[in-house]
């Protein structure tokens, strides 16, 4: 893809800029509407990020429309059925009763004062795919009115809001900063996290100029406990990539260390526990079967792509972390093979019960899940794989790579190897310890127990 696909119209083709006071007046009008909760909110994309934003906006009193391009998703929401684990049906139904609408046709969305864009930003052939953001911005440009605010929340490389989104929105004939407001606010949602949710997690906010920043700050200030303003949209875009690259690199560090510690005969988990007693300068990360979800396997590559594209240099930490983390499913399968071997069994023909297919605990999100890679590798080596997954995705979602069964004592006992890949809170660890014949625990959760097997 190109970094800026739509050129800004030459100055001569633009309508004359309004007097500077106008931007200030428009901002004051919008701020008053935000304050009174009469601002009409449109959330574009009703997925893991967009639906919780829409629900919260309804909760604090805004009139909210969710624009969701997938008609079956919009219909499910409109029928009171949520496919996002963090949004229970009860909350959705209360929102519908308060006036929330989910639509798939932009023509049905009505006018908006604040639009929040929460559409996917995947990689295609290793490069950022911003086509969803482009589509959303083009849709909004057709309906943009003077004085409205647009905020991009999708994770992306620094520069996207100003270089890609602003020119697309200006196809409306309105000028960013003068006649409409534009900002970026990264989402920090952590699906399945009961302690840190949308409201109590501080939200970084930014605008392309001062009036825009004020509007973004006021809008999110009405939704969350604390906002953290930064000086530019590029800075806010970098915040998200810094956070995720930090996690990605540190997970790779413990993963590589776990492999070396095993080879050296040292208990990595004991070392991590002891290091975690240091009250400063250390942050606990634990090994596992790899990284998954919509963020860690993807976001750091947005940053390394930008660095390569702009500076011609390689972001070595990101490349190395990708290499280590992508190797983990293979390493897990090798460890499973070695463990079975020590018990006079071959992986080929063995029955393996995999615990957890999602990318992490407490979520039905299977995107980029390392469990899928592990299952496929086990199957390619001749194992008969079954899986236990208490968090199944919505109908029409990903196809299960193996038959899904309940995690019963009989299933545990029938497996030659139980392979714990996700530490879902629903797994009964005592039952696993009591009934499984052999366990490979890749998350270190079985450790306090006496169980037949080993940790990663």
Looking at beta carbons only, is 154 or 232 nearer to ligand NAD? 154
For the CB of residue 336, give the shortest distance to ligand NAD in the complex, in Å.
29
Distance between CA 51 and CA 403 in Å, rounded?
Answer: 30
H-helix segments, 265-408:
268-275, 299-311, 316-342, 370-380
- The region of 108-116, 131-139, 283-291, 320-328 touching ligand NAD under the rule CB under 6 A is 131-139
What is the DSSP track for 135-197? Answer: HHHHHHHHH--TT-EEEE-S---TTHIIIIIHHHHGGGSPPBTTTBEEEE------TT-SSS-
Q: Is residue 69 within the footprint of ligand NAD (CB under 6 A)?
A: yes
- Please list every residue from 290 through 329 that binds ligand NAD, using CB under 6 A: 294-295
Question: Which one, of 75, 225, 43, lies nearest residue 139 by Cα?
Answer: 43
Distance of alpha carbon 235 from alpha carbon 393, whole angstroms: 34
Q: How many Cβ atoms from other residues are within 10 Å of residue 360's Cβ? A: 24
Quickly list H helices, 343-445.
370-380, 409-414, 429-435
Interaction between residue 121 and ligand NAD (CB under 6 A): yes
Task: Give the nearest distance from C-beta 353 to ligand NAD in angstroms.
Answer: 28
Among 82, 118, 255, 455, binds ligand NAD (CB under 6 A): 118
Q: How far is the CB of 301 from ligand NAD (least distance, A)?
A: 12
CB atoms within 10 A of CB 36: 9
Owner of token pair 């080879």: 263
The answer to whether 191 contacts ligand NAD (rule: CB under 6 A) is: yes
Q: Which is nearer to ligand NAD, 48 or 181 (CB)?
A: 48
What does the alpha-carbon distance between residue 215 and residue 227 come to, in Å, rounded to a whole number? 12
Q: Is residue 68 a contact point for ligand NAD (CB under 6 A)?
A: yes
Of the candidates 162, 170, 179, 187, which one interacts with ligand NAD according to CB under 6 A?
Answer: 187
Q: For ligand NAD, give the closer residue by CB, 185 or 350.
A: 185
| Contact in structure between 17 and 155 (CB atoms under 8 Å) | no
Nearer to ligand NAD, 191 or 287 (CB): 191
Quote the tokens at residue 112. Answer: 């908006």
**Binding to ligand NAD by residue 154, rule CB under 6 A?**
yes
The least distance separating ligand NAD from the CB of residue 201, rounded to whole angstroms, comes to 11
Our CB check for ligand NAD shows the closer of 135 and 273 to be 135
Q: Which is nearer to ligand NAD, 201 or 379 (by Cβ)? A: 201
Contacting ligand NAD within 391-450 (CB under 6 A): none
Among residues 322, 375, 357, 6, the alpha carbon closest in space to that of 172 is found at: 6
Among 17, 32, 70, 127, binds ligand NAD (CB under 6 A): 70
Per-residue x/- track, 21-50, ligand NAD (CB under 6 A): -----------------------xxxxxxx
Would you give the end-to-end CA distance of the chain in angstroms?
A: 40
- Residue in 26, 41, 58, 119 binding ligand NAD, rule: CB under 6 A: 119
Query: Does residue 198 interact with ligand NAD by CB under 6 A?
Result: no
Q: By C-beta, is 85 or 271 nearer to ligand NAD?
A: 85
Residue 23, CB-side half-sphere exposure with 13 Å CA sphere: 21
Shortest spacing between CB 269 and ligand NAD, in angstroms: 27
Are 189 and 163 in contact, with CB atoms under 8 Å apart?
A: no
Stretch that binds ligand NAD, among 187-195, 308-316, 385-393, 402-410 (CB under 6 A): 187-195
Q: 353: which strand partners?
A: 386, 418
Count of residues near ligand NAD by CB under 6 A: 28
295 is catalytic: yes
Q: Which is nearer to ligand NAD, 227 or 433 (CB)?
A: 227
Asked if 132 interacts with ligand NAD (CB under 6 A), we say yes
Least distance in Å: CB of 97 to ligand NAD?
23
| DSSP summary character for residue 106 | G
Token duo for residue 249: 């690199």
Three-state secondary-structure class, residue 102? strand
Nearest to 251 by CA among 295, 185, 189: 295
Residues that bind ligand NAD (CB under 6 A): 44-50, 67-70, 73, 118-121, 132, 135-136, 139, 153-155, 187, 189, 191, 294-295
Give the catalytic positions in this structure.
295
């Amino acid at each position: 893809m190109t970094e800026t696909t739509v050129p800004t119209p030459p100055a001569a083709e633009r309508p004359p800029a309004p007097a500077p006071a106008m931007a200030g007046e428009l901002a004051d009008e919008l701020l008053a509407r935000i304050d009174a909760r009469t601002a009409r909110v449109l959330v574009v994309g009703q997925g893991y990020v967009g639906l919780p934003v829409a629900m919260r906006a309804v909760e604090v009193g805004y009139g909210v429309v969710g624009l969701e391009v997938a008609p079956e998703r919009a219909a499910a929401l409109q029928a009171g059925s949520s496919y996002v684990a963090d949004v229970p049906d009860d909350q959705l139904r209360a929102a519908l009763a308060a006036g929330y609408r989910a639509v798939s046709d932009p023509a049905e969305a009505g006018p908006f004062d604040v639009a929040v864009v929460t559409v996917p930003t995947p990689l295609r052939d290793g490069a950022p795919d911003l086509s969803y953001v482009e589509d959303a911005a083009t849709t909004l440009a057709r309906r943009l009115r003077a004085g409205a605010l647009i905020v991009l929340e999708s994770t992306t490389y620094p520069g996207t809001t100003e270089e890609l989104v602003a020119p697309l929105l200006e196809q409306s004939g309105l000028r960013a900063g003068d006649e409409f407001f534009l900002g970026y606010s990264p989402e920090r949602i952590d699906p399945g996290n009961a302690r840190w949710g949308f409201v109590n997690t501080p939200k970084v906010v930014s605008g392309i100029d001062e009036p825009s920043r004020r509007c973004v700050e006021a809008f999110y200030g009405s939704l969350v406990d604390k906002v953290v303003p930064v000086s530019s949209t590029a800075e806010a875009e970098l915040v998200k990539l810094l956070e995720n690259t930090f996690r990605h690199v540190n997970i790779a560090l413990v993963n590589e260390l776990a492999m070396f510690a095993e080879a050296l005969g040292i208990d990595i988990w004991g070392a991590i526990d002891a290091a975690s007693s240091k009250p400063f300068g250390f942050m606990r990360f634990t090994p596992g079967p790899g990284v998954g979800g919509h963020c860690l396997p993807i976001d750091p590559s947005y940053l390394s792509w930008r660095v390569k594209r702009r500076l011609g240099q390689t972001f070595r930490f990101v490349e190395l972390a990708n290499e280590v983390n992508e190797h983990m499913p293979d390493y897990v399968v090798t460890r499973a093979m070695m463990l079975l071997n020590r018990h006079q069994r071959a992986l080929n023909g063995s029955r393996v019960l995999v615990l957890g297919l999602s990318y992490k605990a407490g979520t039905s999100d299977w995107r980029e899940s390392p469990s899928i890679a592990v299952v496929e590798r086990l199957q390619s080596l001749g194992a008969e794989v079954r899986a236990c997954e208490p968090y199944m995705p919505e109908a029409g979602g990903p196809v299960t790579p193996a038959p899904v069964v309940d995690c019963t004592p009989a299933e545990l006992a029938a497996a030659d190897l139980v392979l714990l890949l996700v530490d879902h809170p629903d797994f009964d660890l005592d039952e696993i310890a009591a009934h499984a014949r052999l366990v490979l625990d890749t998350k270190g959760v079985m450790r306090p127990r006496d169980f037949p097997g080993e940790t990663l």
